[in-house]
Each structure stands twice: as structure tokens, then as C-alpha cells.
Structure 1
Amino acid sequence: MRSPTFPPTPSRSAPAVALWSGALTAVLLVLVSAEWGPLISFDRAVADGLHDSAVRSPAFTGANRILSDWVWDPWTMRALVTAGVVWLWRRGERLLAVWTAAVSALGSAVQQLLKAAVGRDRPRWSDPVDWAHYAAFPSGHAMTAAVTCGLLLWLLARLGAGPRLRAAALLLGAVSVVGVGLTRLYLGVHWASDVVAGWLLGACVVAVAVLAYDRTAVRRGSRGDSGRGLTHQD
């Protein structure tokens, strides 16, 4: 079977990702802030339907809580980034290590600033199945997963990982990013537009970081490629 092919780095698609994800995030931000009726109605319909299911299915709800609060929790994601930063530092990839840590921290700061600025209330239930703190928009779980998985996929590509490893990482990353967003909806702690905004904003942060890193590497007199890439054997 022929292995999937990948571009040398995600940099080629980064400008388009940054543009479209940023623009769509801005649109959602305006609509949520203006409490646009059709969007609010859609959010409420999705939330009501999923909450009814969560109340009727305690076992499945418990599984969602485990995935949301432990497997895909933001602190789990940050631990993955930390492990990657330590590994890069020990390999001598100091710029990549610092850049990765800084982008992860920036993502956390951006989401908290937006939460405070928008101040959107979370769904409220007389019979909640889970609880969450802070404002709703954007979803911190969704955004942190998008930033973390996006960064790790970029690092694998930049360091020359083989196509099978990258394909496996892409699959795991996609499952994690989509999965954590769905768990937040199912548990009734976010509106659908919160989760979508988290995904879009996370993609935008990573895309902008990739572009900025490439320009920084060029200014430093190199392409920023690792001299000791990962083996292409899986």
C-alpha cells in the first residue's frame, strides 16, 4: 500500500489557515457579542438535545466526563507540550523549544482574555451533569487541544518524521480536537459556537506561529530546519 505523502512543512498552507480561521473567528465573535438570534437559537437547540441525552444516559455521560476532565483536559494537553519542549531543549533545538512553549502560553492567554471580554454565560440547567468555571466563549478545552495538537503536528513535520508516524499523529490529533469539543457539548458546559470558536482560534494561533517562526528562522540566517531530523523509518 502506498504511504500518504505530505509537504515538507505545513508552512505552505499556513497563510490560508491563518486568514480563514481568523476571519471566521471574528465573525463568530461579532455574532455572539451581538446575541444574533439565529445563532443563539441554534446553540440552544443543540444544547437542549444533548442535555436530554446526557441525563438519560449516565454511563455514557460518565465516559464523557473522563475523556473531558482527564484524557483531553487542558492540563493534559499542556503536559504534552511541556514534554515536547523538554525533548527539543535536550536535542539542542532551543529556538523551537522556546517558540513552542511561548505559543502554548499565548494560546492560554488569548482564550482567557476573550472569555473576560465577551463574558458569555454558560448553559444553565436545573439538573446539570457537569460543572465548569469562567465564561463560555471560546471553549478553553477545544482551543487548547487545537493549539497543542497543531503544534505537535508541526514539530513532527519540521523535524522530518516519517509519513506513517505523521499520519498516525494526525489521526490522533483530529480525534482529540474533535472529541474534546463534543464532550464539552454533551456535558452541557458550552454552546456549540463556543466550541467552534475554540477550534478556529486554536488553528489561527498555530498558523500565525508557524509563519512567524519561519520569518524568524530566515532572519537568523537559516531555514530553521533541524540538522538532526527524526528518522524516516517507522
Structure 2
Amino acid sequence: MPVIVDLIDRTVCEVSTEAATAEIAVSTGVVGVAVIVASLLVDRFKPAQSLAQVTARRAVRAAAVIVMFVELGVQASRSGWLTGADATTLDWFTTHRSSGWTVIARAITHAGDPAGLAVIGLLLAGLMAWWLRCAVPMVLILGTVAVASAASRMSKVVVGRTRPPAVVELMTQTDFSYPSGHVTGTVALVGSVLLAYLGARPAVWRRIAAGLFVVVVVATMGATRLYLGVHWLTDVIGGGLLGCSVVLIGAVLQPYLRAWLHGAPMNESSKVVPTS
């Protein structure tokens, strides 16, 4: 029995060590992006005709993002190849501070606190539910933010990465660093709102504008966390991946949630209907 335990321990250690290398990191990223792009191209040129097809394609995209998040977490926990730019990025932000930018960064980051996200989430969820005359967006938005928050807390404990040195922090943070909870929550919130909005099938230019707005919001939140010296670059990217994965899981569950709330029967061969 001790021999088996020792073998398992060495195997896990070897796998974890290899997962922190550049080869595994690059391979995981390339394959993950390729899977997502291929899935989107299939959606574009061969639209799904049944609920089963929609579910499968969305699940593939969610799985790809989750795998990339896990790989980045391993890299962060073992100071792997992907963490090479963390110190340089943090130094750049800390050397470009000013009193004015500090006030703005603090205000933005406070909006991404759990309390701030809860208030903003409730307002946006209520607004989307009223606009679409449907309860699905409210449940989707609030559920996505709640799950993302819980997943972020669990991931922090599992990875156990320490924060940047206290000397560079402009705000006191006591929990672990990976992933950024602020970025995770922000992506979950604006991503789920975008998902509900796209379900209303707006014009193409409105979709593009909404997507760009989401990118700007997320990038701004991530930049403030780096500016305040409370996260590493990989923490911010990890938060984006985690939040995105929860949103994609929400996309998988969205049609089932709609059927459940509306009391409509559903089976795997159900025809695809417009999201609302």
C-alpha cells in the first residue's frame, strides 16, 4: 500500500510539474483557442437545428475555457512559464502612479467589490427583465454572478497563491491572489448581461458595440487591480477566464432555464427558438 501511495504522489507531482512548462502552456492555449474558433465557425456556417446541437457546441466552448483556466492556475501556483511577465507588468503599473489615477482606480475597484457588484447586478438584472418582459435574464444574471463569486473563492484556496508584496499595495487584501475576484465578478456580470442582450437579436452593429463595451469594462477593472498592486497579471487573466467560463455555462443552461420558468416541455430534438 505505501508503494502505491508513493507512486500516485510521484505521478501527481510529475504531471503538475510538466503542466507548469512552456510547452504545456502554449499547447493548452493554442488548442483551447482553436476549439473555440472552430466551434464559432461551425455555428456561423452550419447553424444548429436542435437544442441538443446548441447545447453540445456551447458546452465545448465552456470546457475549452475551463481547461485554459485550470492550466493557468497550475502555472500560477508553481510560478510556471506563464507567470514570467507578472513582475514586469506590476512594476510598470506601480511606476506610473499619480494621485489622480489612484482616486479613479480606487473608485472603480470599489464598484467591483462584492457589495458593489450585488447592487449593480440587481439593477441590471431588473432592467433587463423589464426590457425583455421575461424573468430569465434576471435569474441568469444573478445566478451567474453568484456562481462566479463562489468559484473564485474556491479557486483562491485551491491555488493558494500569495499577493504581490505589501510594499506595492495601495489597498490591503488578506485573501489569496489567483484568480482576481473583481475581474471574475465583472466578467460574470457584464458577460451575462451581454448574453441576455444578444438573446433579443439586436442589429449587428449593436452587437459589436455591446461586445466592445464589455471588453473595455473588463480591461478597465483588470488594469485597476494591477495599478493598485493587489494582483499579478496572471490573476487578472485567470479571473477573466473563470468569469467567461461561468457565463458560457450559463449559455448552456439558458434554454433549459427558459423552459423551466415558462413551464414548456423540452427534449433533445427540440427546435431552436429565439432567445428572450
- In the superposition, the TM-score normalised over structure 1's length comes to 0.78
Identify the residue that residue 92 of structure 2 maps to in structure 1. 49
Q: Does the Cα contact within 8 Å between 2:144 and 2:189 map onto a contact in 1?
A: no
Q: Higher RCO, 1 or 2 (CA under 8 Å, sep at least 6)?
A: 1
Ranges in structure 1 where 5+ consecutive residues have no aligned partner:
1-6, 230-234
CA separation in 2, counterparts of 1:87 and 1:44? 41
| Shift in Å, 1:114 | 1.1
Q: Which amino acid aligns with 1:20?
A: A
Verify: 1:159 aligned to 2:200, yes or no: yes
- Cα deviations by residue, 1:12-51 (Å, 9 ceiling, x for unpaired): 9734531331111011111122232x34442122222322
Cα gap change, 1:65/1:88 in structure 2, threshold over 3 Å: closer, same or farther? closer
- Aligned residues between the structures: 217
| SS of alignment partner, residue 155 of structure 2 | helix
Q: Distance in 1 between matches of 2:273 and 2:172?
A: 43
Identity %: 25
Tell me how far apart the structure 2 counterparts of residues 59 and 137 of structure 1 sit (CA, whole Å): 28
Aligned-pair CA distance for 1:170? 2.1
Tell me the distance in 1 between the aligned counterparts of 2:73 and 2:168: 29
Matches within 5 A, 1:17-36: 17-36=61-80
CA distance in 2 between partners of 1:127 and 1:188 (Å)? 5
Query: Which structure carries more helix by proportion?
Result: 2
1:1-234 maps to which residues of 2 (within 5 A)? Answer: 14-36=58-80, 38-54=81-97, 57-70=98-111, 72-87=112-127, 93-126=134-167, 128-217=169-258, 220-221=264-265, 225=274
CA deviations over 1:195-215 (Å, ceiling 9, x no partner) = 000001111111111012234
Runs of 5+ consecutive residues of structure 2 not aligned to the other structure = 1-43, 48-53, 267-271
2:7 equivalent in structure 1:
none
Q: Aligned-pair distance for 1:79?
A: 2.6
- Give the RMSD, CA atoms, in angstroms: 3.0
Offset from partner CA, 1:176-227 (integer Å, 9 cap, x none): 011110111111110001000000111111111101223454684365646x
Which structure has the larger Rg over C-alpha atoms? Answer: 2
